[in-house]
Amino acid sequence: MESVTGPKDVIWDITYACPLRCFHCYSESGRRAARQLGPDGLLRLTEAVLRFQPRSVTISGGEPLLVKGVFEVARRFGEAGVERLLYTSGWTLDETLAQQAVANFDRICVSLDGATADVHDRIRGRRGSFDRALNALDLLDRAAGDRVPYGVDFTVVRSNFDQITDACALLGARFPRLRTIFFGAAVPSGLASRADFAERELLTEEQRERLVDPDFVAGLRAATPGAARVGTTDNRVLQMHPERVRSAADFPVVQVEPDGAVRAMSIYEGTVGNLLTDDPDQVWRRAVDRWRDPFVVAALGPAHTAVQWAEAARRIDLRFGSDDDRARIARRPAHR
C-alpha cells in the first residue's frame, strides 16, 4: 500500500466511553456515543493510521483500557516500529491490565488532577478516583519497574493550582521510579470551552505565566523527591493560532476519533474525512487547509486571553461540528 507524507504524531481517541465525568473533559467522553470499533475495525484503522508512517501514536480517549483489542492495536504499532503512548485515568486498572499495558506500550501516563482526594474527585466527577489513580500508579510501578517509563499528567485549573507543589511532593515520595510529572494548563476544548468554565476555571493570565516561569518550575523540581522529571506547559501551542501554524510542519499532529474520523484541528470539533474510507494524504491536506480557513483565522486571530480563546473555540465548534456535536453542545451542563 502506498504511504503518504503526513503528521509525525497521531493521537487516537480510541473510545468516547469513560467511567469518569471530569468537569473539564475535552472529548466530552461518557456524554456522547462511544463510536468504538470492534476488533476487526480496530485493526483496519490501525493499518490506515500506519499509512501516515508516524513516529508515535498516543492512545487516549475516553478510557482506552475499556476497549477490548487495545493491546492488539498497540502490538501492531510496535511491530511497525512506532512509539506507543497510553493515557489512562487508571480507574479500571488491575494487576493483569497493568502487566498487559507494560508489555504493549512504550510509555504510560496516568492523569491526576489534585494532591488530595477532595480536589481530584471533585474535578474528576467521581468519588474514589483519586485513590484509584494512586493505586494504578502502584500497580504500574510494580509491573513496569525501571523498564517502561510511566508518569503523571496533571491538568491545571484554578481549583488545583495551589496543589501543584504538594502533588510533586506526594508523587515523588511515593513513587521513586516515576519518570515524569507534567503540569499542563487546561485548554478551552469540549466542556472546558464553556463560557462559565472559562471565567471560573481556566487559568488567569498571571497563573498561566507563572506556570511556565523558570523559577516556579525550579521550585517544583526542588520539591520533588526521587528522579521524576518535572515539566510544565501553558499549552498555547494547542490554540493553533494562525500566526503560529502557517504550514503542516508547524503542527505535525493529527487527532483521530474512535471510528477513524479525522479532526481538522486537534482540540476543536470538525472532521475532514475518515481513514477507513478516504485517502489519508487527502485527509491530511484538507486538515491543513482548514487551519487557514478564513473563519478559523478570523476566530483565532484576535484571541489572546484564555477567555477569548474559549469564545473562539465555541465559534469554531459550532461552525464545523456535526449536527450531533451541535446538539451535544446545546445540552452541555452549566459549570457548577
DSSP category for residue 254: E
Nearer to ligand SF4, 13 or 234 (CB): 13
Q: Least distance to ligand SF4 from the beta carbon of 184, Å?
A: 12
Q: Least distance to ligand SF4 from the beta carbon of 247, Å?
A: 30
Nearer to ligand SF4, 18 or 220 (CB): 18
Q: Least distance to ligand SF4 from the beta carbon of 167, Å?
A: 17
Q: Least distance to ligand SF4 from the beta carbon of 28, Å?
A: 7
φ/ψ of 255, rounded to 5, equals -110, 125
Q: Least distance to ligand SF4 from the beta carbon of 118, Å?
A: 17
Please, which residues have CB within 8 angstroms of residue 214's CB and are 6 or more apart in sequence? Answer: none
What is the Cα 268 distance to its own chain's centre?
Answer: 13
Give the pairing of strands 229-233 and 253-256. unpaired
Nearer to ligand SF4, 157 or 181 (CB): 157
Nearer to ligand SF4, 57 or 283 (CB): 57
Query: Is-contact 280 271, C-beta < 8 A?
Result: no
SS3 155: strand
Query: Is-contact 108 88, C-beta < 8 A?
Result: yes
Nearer to ligand SF4, 187 or 316 (CB): 187
* H or E element, residue 273: strand 271-274
Where on the chain is the footprint of ligand SF4 (CB under 6 A)? 18, 20-22, 25, 27, 29-30, 61-63, 89
Torsion of CA 241, 247, 252, 255, to 10 degrees: 60
Q: Least distance to ligand SF4 from the beta carbon of 149, Å?
A: 20
Nearer to ligand SF4, 23 or 175 (CB): 23
Query: Is-contact 48 75, C-beta < 8 A?
Result: no
- Polymer length in residues for the chain: 336
